[in-house]
Amino acid sequence: MNDRAKAVRLMLFDVDGVMTDGGLHYTDSGEEIKVFNTLDGLGIKLLRATGVRLGIITGRTSRIVEHRARHLGIDFLHQGAHDKLEVFHQVLEQAGVRAEECGYMGDDVIDLPVLRRVGFSVAVPDAPELVRHHVHYVTGLPGGRGAVREVCEHIMRAQGTLDAALEPFLR
């Protein structure tokens, strides 16, 4: 598993259930609200600073996700992806990486086509059993509660970049 994480040059994430807790929250006017975890956000920024490129492939479309992606410096954002595998192949081509050099983190069966093709696949603990069965790593923390941070640190640890990434905070 560490060898798989060590090879990651591009890490892709689903949003709902991974970067959020999976709940769909709406205001009375029908506006969607998403809650993101700041620990996850810093983990993404730290991973990006090590040279790993980042992307989001999600089936839903939301301006909130656009804002979050921009704030985090996400390199590739694809929303409304009904065929995530097709979008995945497009991202690989755009990024110039092979599937073996890519990681993907998802939480449901719609993510399986991508999870089964990447070099490092990750699911959250509350993903369906079928999904957990087909991934290389299941996080200890749930989606929206630090799971993304856990994966970012796992990749940095495998690549030998975690200590350097955290060193500025230990001065």
Residue type, 87: V
Write phi, then psi, for 121 (nearest 5 degrees). -110, 140
Is 3 annotated in a binding site? The answer is: no
Type and span of the H or E element at 138: strand 137-138
Residues near 148 by beta carbon (within 8 Å), at least 6 away in sequence? 13, 18, 19, 37, 40, 43, 44, 105
CA angle 61, 47, 65 (to 5 degrees): 15
108 is in an annotated binding site: no
Residue 14 annotated as binding site:
yes
Residues placed in the known binding site for Mg(2+)? 14, 107
Residues placed in the known binding site for substrate? 16
Residues placed in the known binding site? 14, 16, 107
